[in-house]
A and B are shown apart, each in its own frame.
Chain A
Amino acid sequence: MGTTIKVSVGDKLPLFVRDGTVEHWNRFAAVNNEFAAHHWDPDIAKAEGFPAPFCMAPLQLAFFHAMLRDWLGEGGRIISVTAKLKGPFFKGQTLTGLACVTGINVINGEKHADLDLSQIDETDRTIAIGKAQVALSDN
């Protein structure tokens, strides 16, 4: 509590990895009331032009948040997260979340870090990109 983690520009966060499974996405569908069939029904996904069911965008956004929290611990906080969705995360694929510190600033006595975010699949195809700003301490 209240401790500032040591951060430098160029630091990379631990990877955040999740397999694309309906078992996972159904759990998120249940809490977010998000039951579009293309997230779980292969026939519907194909009829809409997709090769397989794909993950919900809010869950992909939640993955960015979880990755940041895993790194920050409870001493920090998320100030902002932006995400641009570049392509679906399909069932059977593996998503890897990456983040790199791009800047460090002190704002009103609070140490902030800027980060570049991305999510790729196992072929290095970019699924999403984004940016985040976090506070590193609890002043």
Chain B
Amino acid sequence: MSGGISSTKVTPEMTAIVGKTMRESISHPVTVSDIRKWAIAVYYPQDPPPLFWDENYAKTTKYGGIVAPEEFNPFAWATEKPSITEPKVAQTAFSEHELGVEPPEYSAMLLTEIRESYSATRICPGDVIRSTVRISDYFEREGRMGHMLYATLSNEWRNQNDEWIRTTESVFVRY
């Protein structure tokens, strides 16, 4: 957990929540329009590949229809859970408070690294995606800003058939 440091900011309570579900979200069914808009926004000012917007073309591909780009985010706006009337929880930034644990004191938190992994199963129109977020590990080191506490947030997505779609690991540093 620690490398080259004399003390740790990782409390036993923090260690105990590693691997526990911090938050769970469920998307509304993905629409073709959602996918088209995402692809247009990413590829602007060029046209996106027709797989992401042309239904007639997409039917001729191995997918049999439009699929979403791997990085597509179905949780950006309203979700089935939490509903639009519930307090919005940021998808990336986090706090141990969400699991009832006091976080360490720090003056800054930065996202330093993103690791995405994907299955061969793509997100398609009609899919409902479930996101489960956990803290997967802590590690510490001394850096330019002093004692650096790193936490990896793991966000696993599965579709309505419980097929694994994607896992995003976001590494945050606090100092």
- Give the residues in chain A near B73, CB-CB below 8 Å: 31-32, 58
Q: Count of A residues near B, CB < 8 Å? A: 32
Of A1, A24, A32, A79, which one neighbours B117 at CB under 8 angstroms?
A: A79
- CB pair B62–A138 under 8 Å, yes or no, is yes
- Give the residues in chain A near B112, CB-CB below 8 Å: 84-85
- Give the residues in chain A near B118, CB-CB below 8 Å: 77-80
Q: Count of B residues near A, CB < 8 Å? A: 29
For A13-36 the 0/1 string (1 means CB < 8 A from B) is 000000000011001101111100
- CB pair B71–A58 under 8 Å, yes or no, is yes
- CB pair B70–A82 under 8 Å, yes or no, is no
User: B123 at interface (Cβ–Cβ under 8 A)?
Assistant: no
User: B59 at interface (Cβ–Cβ under 8 A)?
Assistant: no
User: A5 at interface (Cβ–Cβ under 8 A)?
Assistant: no
For B41-81 the 0/1 string (1 means CB < 8 A from A) is 11111000101000000000111000001110100110000
Given contact pairs A57-B114, A58-B73, A80-B115, enumerate 5 new A-B contacts (beta carbons under 8 Å): A30-B41, A31-B41, A62-B71, A78-B118, A82-B115
Q: Which residues of B contact A (CB under 8 A)?
A: 34, 37-38, 40-45, 49, 51, 61-63, 69-71, 73, 76-77, 111-118, 120
